[in-house]
Amino acid sequence: MTAHGASDTANPEHGRRHFGAKLVFTIVFICFGSSSFGFSNAVIGSTLGQPSFMSTMGLDTATNASSLISAILSMFYAGGFFGAFCHALLADRYGRKVSASVAASIMIIAAAICTGSNNIGVYIAFRFFCGWASYQFICTIPTWVTEITPPSHRGVLGNIIAVNIGLGYVIASFSGIGFYFVKGDDQWRGVTGLQILFPGLLLAAIYWLPESPRYLIAKDRHEEALAILKTLHASTSQADHFAEMEFFQIRKQIEWDNAHKMTYLEIFKHPTMRKRALITISLTWCMVGSGVLVINNYGTAIYSALGFNELDTLLFLAGWVCIVLLAPFVCMTFVDRVSRTWLLASGFFLCMCTLIVEAALQKNFLGTNNTSALSAAVAMTYLYVFFYVLCLDGPMFFYIGEIWPSHVRVQGFAIGISAMCISNLVWTAAAPVAFANIGWKYYIFFILQAAIGGVATILYSPNTLGKPLEEIAALFGDTAEVVVFQAELEESRFENGVEGKEFPEGVEHVETAVGVGKEN
């Protein structure tokens, strides 16, 4: 039987639940890093809605206020670009835990200085480092989570990333409303200072969190890796067997991977790696290019333009981010039952439809007293973010983790998240001038990118649903690079009567049965 054929064979382990409460709680604590990302992204929307911030920074009287606001937002994403590559430097060399710890430390220091700043220059400078930490988090956390989750439930567990991003958004927005009612010139400092909450919690827990087994195996720390797999993937009488089989497959694959490490230039020269890179770039660019952070960051300006007052705009933003928290729970009910390709493509097309309606409403009713139409415009922003988070936000992060092999996974995330930062930088920096000069027509750019993202996903992105990470290469035509398939291990286990034995100590009969080390 060929390796590729084995990948399609019914796997007795597929669909079984190989995790318990410990893995869920572990992922929740790891994802405090994604909560920090969400909070730091959302807090600027609330901060710009605080009159005290505008007056303290002189933005209420400055003739170049729009440019300064654009700089605040742009420097955050510029920092994110560097954070993505900092992750790439640290995560493979020192581990996922070290990369997350560095990001948390940077966030705490930068947030503290932003909170105490009294001039716009200092605030802008350290928003750069907040962005650095945020995007280092959003590279490290999905990598880490993807590598500790079993393939059959990777979508459900990976969506905890999106839930925690939503949690960060919700706390930032409702804190903004709470501090809006605080009197004095420092009301904005409270919500800004809360940026230290989630990185502080992550740092407090980091010692007890498990390192990625794939990182440990790559560093020849096999006993630690196997112990972690047995602990995290335990829930049935066959738990140890599944962890041992998983360990065997990962170890054999990483032995091959370690001999084939690549630079960024080599990634773009290698045909299937280049395809992964282009899929990753198009996915992250088009997601951001559909306008999600423009709507978040300029939500106060958008809702004000629709005729609502300061408090109303803050309340609308809070309602908007509540959907960011709730939609991932809906996604969890079906994410591991539907094609990854069609899930992502559907998200792009549904976002495109809501943006078309939003643009039409703003074209025809902006500046009028038609409250029904203006309310519908607000509703479209809500519907947009629901579809975005439901189909794109969480799935995007674990999908990128799935399509990249272990030896270049951190580089793959760096490529994708750096593209996301550049896209954010382009569309967010242009937004103040664009909204002032072309208004609703700016949405046309978002509509086009959502359409391109949907079509590109259908044409080029393979469905990774339920596949072990070590077998994804076969979907890109690299069957020879898959050392052993999990289904073959299952078949050989039953054919050779090895049930109950541990693969790491006695694998010779398995290697003979499945042809490990032979040409596929």
DSSP 375: H
The domain 19-207+241-474 belongs to what CATH superfamily? MFS general substrate transporter like domains (1.20.1250.20)
CA distance 484 to 508: 13
Provide CB contacts within 8 A for 365, sequence distance 6+.
373, 374, 377
CA distance 235 to 22: 10
Structure tokens at 510: 């398995």
Structure tokens at 279: 């899929």
Confidence of residue 481 (pLDDT cuts 50, 70, 90): confident
Lowest mean pLDDT among 211-215, 372-376, 445-449: 372-376
- Site of tokens 């539907």: 338
Closest CA to 282 of 430, 71, 457, 404: 457
CA distance 109 to 206: 18
CA distance 12 to 232: 20
CA distance 92 to 497: 38
Max avg pLDDT among 41-45, 83-87, 466-470: 83-87
Instruction: Compute CA 226 distance to the chain's CA centroid, rounded to the nearest angstrom.
Output: 27
How many CB atoms within 10 Å of residue 219?
17
> Residue 66: pLDDT above 90?
no
CA distance 238 to 460: 37
More confident residue, 184 or 11: 184
What secondary structure does DSSP assign to 96-137, as a single string? HHHHHHHHHHHHHHHHHHHHH--SHHHHHHHHHHHHHHHHHH
Sign of the Cα torsion 205, 208, 212, 217 reads positive
10 Å CB burial of residue 62 (0-12, 13-18, 19+) is middle
pLDDT digits (tens, 9 = 90+) for 317-352: 778 888 988 999 999 999 999 999 999 999 999 999
The pLDDT of residue 235 is: 57
Lowest mean pLDDT among 107-116, 388-397, 425-434: 425-434
Give the domain ranges of the chain.
Answer: 19-207+241-474
More confident residue, 427 or 242: 427
pLDDT, average across residues 492-511: 45
Could you write out the three-class secondary structure of 312-335?
Answer: HHHHHHHHHHHHHHHHHHHHHCCC
Lowest mean pLDDT among 35-44, 400-409, 507-516: 507-516
Max avg pLDDT among 107-111, 239-243, 495-499: 107-111
DSSP 390: I
Lowest mean pLDDT among 210-219, 417-426, 480-489: 480-489
Confidence of residue 9 (pLDDT cuts 50, 70, 90): very low
